[in-house]
Structure 1
Amino acid sequence: MESEKPYQSIRLFDNELLERLSHVHPIVPLLLWAPLACWLIWRGFYVYELSLVPLMAVGLAGLLAWTLSEYMLHRFVFHFKASGKAGKWFVYLFHGNHHDDPKDKSRLVMPPAGAIPIMALLYLLFGLVVPQPWLQPFCGTFIIGYLIYDYIHYSTHHFPMKNPVARFLKHYHLKHHHSGEGGRYGVSSPLWDRVFRTDPSRG
């Protein structure tokens, strides 16, 4: 009887440092982003002395903005139909490898090397439409939404998720991978698939 071969991730880079940066332990996003999110929300509440109800409203807006960003990035960036070699490599680097190997535990959450520049760019873009001091709690809850997404995504591929809502999200995302129908770009929520009619089961 042959011994089982050790698991090997898909190699993305010839350079050893870049290859290591493409992997991440699943606890890293929580350790990296949770303190920043708490600090941003704390600044809104204690430094800028924003009142609780408006702060909660801005927080809900930040969470909603995350769900829309998650949908848009997944649909239009990670599933971009590139024609050139560089474009195809970019799409494969960020997402295509996940479809080829969805069980890879070290690539189910976004590595800091990719997440930090994306988050910095989004912060600058949000600053064009969300004024200070509201920008900071808005981005704090946006980051919380991102963390919720990251761990829902990880769980859908590695845990049974017996809670009815969690089980629905698991089956919903796995259909994105295995049904062959396309669509279902929402991971933490099917909201924007319903709005933009990209849930094949809804016609």
Structure 2
Amino acid sequence: MATETPHQSIRLFENDLLERLSHVHPITPLLFWGPVAAWLLWRGATGHDLGAGTLALLAIAGLVTWTFTEYLLHRFLFHFPARGRLGQWLVFLFHGNHHDDPKDKTRLVMPPAGAIPIMAVLYLLFSALLPAAWLDAFSAFFIVGYLVYDYIHYASHHFPMRNRVAKFLKHYHLKHHFSGQSGRYGVSSPLWDMVFGTRPAETPRDSR
């Protein structure tokens, strides 16, 4: 009986420790960021006595802000047209390797080593823009949006999607990889592609 050939990941670092940090089990983001989001939500809701209505609005704001952040990162950072050698390597490190090897299960969700500094910078940005009473709850729902994105991305590459919405998102993202067209930068939502005109027109074959 034939056996499946073990997947060989693209090596990103000569240093073995850095290389190990670039791989992550898909459950890791949930185990790491889930408690962080729960703690922030608890601290925000109890420490500032936020009502259900305020929490609902912050939930919508946090989730929508994540989809916008996801779009900006994917379009302008992960697909940055770098010209220098260092810039090209950084783009490949963050995202290019995924396009070269989209089936690598260990690089479909972001390792905490990369996500922590990004989240820290964003938290500082939110703290400068939001009232203190809203900061933690908003950040909690923002992190939930990030987790939803991570697992939609993972599932799009590795699971059949039966639900109509999930199936649409899977096909939408795979067209980003394999259609030969630029655009479709949204993974958890096509909203900002429609707003900014980066959703290519569907061909009859695409819409099947």
* TM-score (structure 1 length as normaliser): 0.97
Give the AA of the match of 2:6. P
1:4–1:40 distance in 2 versus 1, CA, 3 Å: closer
Residue in 2 that maps onto 1:121? 121
Distance 1:22 1:133 in 2: 36
Question: What is the correspondence of 1:66-145 to structure 2 with a 5 Å cutoff?
Answer: 66-145=66-145
Return the alpha-carbon distance in structure 2 between the equivalents of residues 140 and 4 of structure 1. Answer: 40
Where does 1:27-38 land on structure 2 (aligned, <5 Å)? 27-38=27-38
Whether the 8 Å contact between 2:185 and 2:198 is mirrored in structure 1 is yes
Distance 1:159 1:104 in 2: 13
Alpha-carbon distance, 1:127 to partner = 1.2
| Residue aligning to 1:170 | 170
TM-superposed CA distance for 1:202, in Å, is: 6.3
Q: Deviations over 1:107-159 (max 9, x none)?
A: 00000110000000110111111120201000000000000000000000000
CA distance in 1, matches of 2:3, 2:34: 41
Q: What secondary structure sits across from 2:88 in the alignment?
A: helix
- Determine if contact 1:194/1:202 at 8 Å carries over to the other structure: no
| Percentage of pairs with the same residue | 67
Q: Which amino acid aligns with 1:7?
A: H
1:157-194 per-residue CA deviation (whole Å, 9 max, x = no partner) reads: 00001110000000000000000011000000000000
Q: State which drifts further: 168-177 or 122-131.
A: 122-131
Moved more, 170-179 or 54-63: 54-63
Question: What corresponds to 1:24 in structure 2?
Answer: 24
Question: 1:172 and 1:194 mapped to 2: Cα distance?
Answer: 13
The superposition leaves residues 26-47 of structure 1 with CA deviations (integer Å, 9 ceiling, x where unpaired) of: 0000000011111111112222
Q: Which amino acid is the alignment partner of residue 13 of structure 2? A: F
The question of whether the paired residues in 2 share the 8 Å contact of 1:176 and 1:182 is answered with yes
Find the counterpart in structure 2 of residue 13 from structure 1. 13
Contact 1:44 1:55 in 2 (8 A): no
Residue in structure 2 matched with residue 65 of structure 1 by the alignment: 65
Give, in angstroms, the shift of residue 4 of structure 1: 5.7
Between 100-109 and 34-43, report the one with greater CA deviation: 34-43
Partner amino acid for 2:86? A
TM-score (norm 2): 0.94
Q: Please state whether the residue corresponding to 1:198 is helix, strand or coil.
A: coil
Unpaired stretches in structure 2, ≥5 consecutive residues: 204-208
Distance 1:194 1:38, change over 3 A: same
Q: Provide closer, same or farther for how the CA distance between residues 2 and 139 of structure 1 changes in structure 2, counting only shifts above 3 A.
A: closer
Change (3 A) 1:135 1:202: farther
2:156 corresponds to which residue? 156
> Secondary structure at the residue paired with 1:127?
helix
Which residue does 1:181 correspond to in 2?
181
Residue 206 of structure 2 is matched in structure 1 by none
For the 8 Å contact 2:7–2:104, the answer to whether it is kept is: no
How many Å separate the matches in 1 of 2:107 and 2:54? 37
